[in-house]
Amino acid sequence: MTSQKTSNSTHSPSSTVHSRIVALAGGVGGAKLAHGLAQILPPEDLTVIVNTGDDFEHLGLNICPDLDTVCYTLAGLANPETGWGRQNETWNVIANIERLGGVSWFRLGDQDFATHIERTRRLKEGEPLSQVTKEFCAAWGIKQTVLPMSDSPVRTIVDTDEGELAFQEYFVHRHCGPRVKGFRFDGIEGAQPVVGAAEAIEAADAVVICPSNPWVSVDPILRVLALTPTPLPEREGQKINKPVVAVSPIIGGKTVKGPAAKMYAELGIEPSALAVAEHYHDLLAGFVLDNQDKQLSDNLKTGKILVTDTLMNSTADRARLAKDLLQFVGSLL
Ligand code: GDP
């Protein structure tokens, strides 16, 4: 590991700081920053721990949307327009399922189907999800370590004004329409953190919370890993002794994509980068917010602050944000 330390959090484009990083990621937002970090760090210095609360069983298959988004993105196989699914995708299988009168609201492309079919076969044979993921990563040429948060199923349930909905039912089938009242994570009490997560955090210089949905992408990971400054009800909290830095997924009061801002509003919290920082409160040694939200930095009580461009529209944007972030992390070590 190479590790340079900076004395402050000022961005200097000429220097690159290498630290060993564990990134906590959901789908699209998480995958983009993970890809940025992967462009800069040596592969052995990046471990991405991914939310599996969005996973579900559909058409007889085990589907892991966040894990696949992270892997496809790191492998350079992701659809650049959607951020999820595969590039150069075809849709013959789902079209034929539809023609037969089958369920087609969850759009799965032909190449994507192969991932789910093969994963389901391996899981049925008793392979843990982490092992399947490791083998898929090797097949896709991913050199970084990608870990599902747990090998045990955890399922995010969204409590809404129309009753409880399984996450994908809420997110994809109902287009996040129902009003959110809360969340619960089925199976979280018994879900052990994946083997390798604690070791990766122990070996890391810092933990980065990617700009993912705090409610449904990051909270399940934090709870499974028991990463908290205060013990959680499910199990003894693990006091984290590494700096934790979060990047806000909310810019100018809005999400770049997805329902995080809508969720904050429906839960009675004004959506903003400030709300995200307060969400993670004591856990944070540092917080990264967008230039658009510069004025909020005076109200932030959380550790050190980096204000930079956090919108990742291109591959270069991802690398630039990762570089800024690593330099910021360096200033915290
Ligand atoms: P999902 O499971 O695909 O919804 O993925 P995530 O939870 O990882 O990502 C959703 C969050 O990522 C949303 O709250 C977005 O606002 C955020 N996001 C997506 N792209 C960007 C980006 O380029 N910059 C920042 N700061 N946030 C982003």
Instruction: Give the integer Cα–Cα distance in Å for 65 and 54.
Output: 7
Closest atom of ligand 1 relative to the 66 alpha carbon: 2
User: To the nearest whole number, what is the mean pLDDT of the chain?
Assistant: 91
Provide the pLDDT for residue 226.
86
CA 121 – ligand 1 centroid, Å:
31
Summarised one tens digit per residue, pLDDT across range 267-322 is 999 999 999 999 998 899 999 999 999 999 998 887 899 999 999 999 999 999 99
d(CA 86, CA 103) in angstroms, rounded, equals 20
The string of pLDDT tens digits covering residues 103-123 is 999 999 999 999 999 999 999
Asked whether the predicted pLDDT for residue 133 surpasses 80, the reply is yes
Of ligand 1's listed atoms, the one at least distance from the Cα of 313 is: 23
pTM listed for this prediction? 0.93
Tell me: pLDDT of 16 over 70.
Answer: no
Name the residue of 82, 255, 309 whose CB sits within 8 Å of the most ligand 1 atoms, as the mutation to test its pocket: 255
Give me the pLDDT at residue 239, please.
Answer: 63
Supply 330's token pair.
Answer: 């360096």
Kindly report the protein residue whose alpha carbon is nearest to atom 2 of ligand 1.
Answer: 27
Domains in the chain with CATH codes: 21-54+148-332 (3.40.50.10680)
| Contact in structure between 287 and 246 (CB atoms under 8 Å) | yes
Rg of the chain (C-alpha set): 19
Q: Which of these, 10, 22, 101, lies nearest to 307 by C-alpha position?
A: 10
* Burial 69-97, CB ≥16 within 10 A → b, else e: bbbbbbbebbbeeebbbbeeeebebbeee
> Between helices 65-75 and 28-40, what is the axis angle to 10°?
30
Q: Across residues 205-229, what is the average pLDDT?
A: 92
Residue spans of beta strands (DSSP E) within 6-117: 21-25, 46-50, 56-58, 61-63
Which atom of ligand 1 sits closest to the CA of residue 260?
A: 14
Q: What is the pLDDT of residues 21-37, one digit of tens each?
A: 999 999 999 999 999 99
Q: According to the 3-state scheme, what is the secondary structure of 58-88?
A: ECCEEECHHHHHHHHHHHCCECCCCCCCECC
Distance 119 CA to ligand 1 centre (A): 25
Q: Which of 212, 247, 288 to mutate to test the pocket of ligand 1 (most atoms within 8 A of CB)?
A: 212
Residue nearest ligand 1's atom 24 by CA: 311
Q: Which atom of ligand 1 is nearest to the CA of 171?
A: 4
* Amino acid occupying residue 306: L
CA distances from 177 to 108, 155, 164 (A): 21, 20, 13
- C-alpha 28 – ligand 1 centre gap (Å): 5
Centre of ligand 1 from the C-alpha of residue 26, in Å:
8
Nearest CA, atom 26, ligand 1: 249
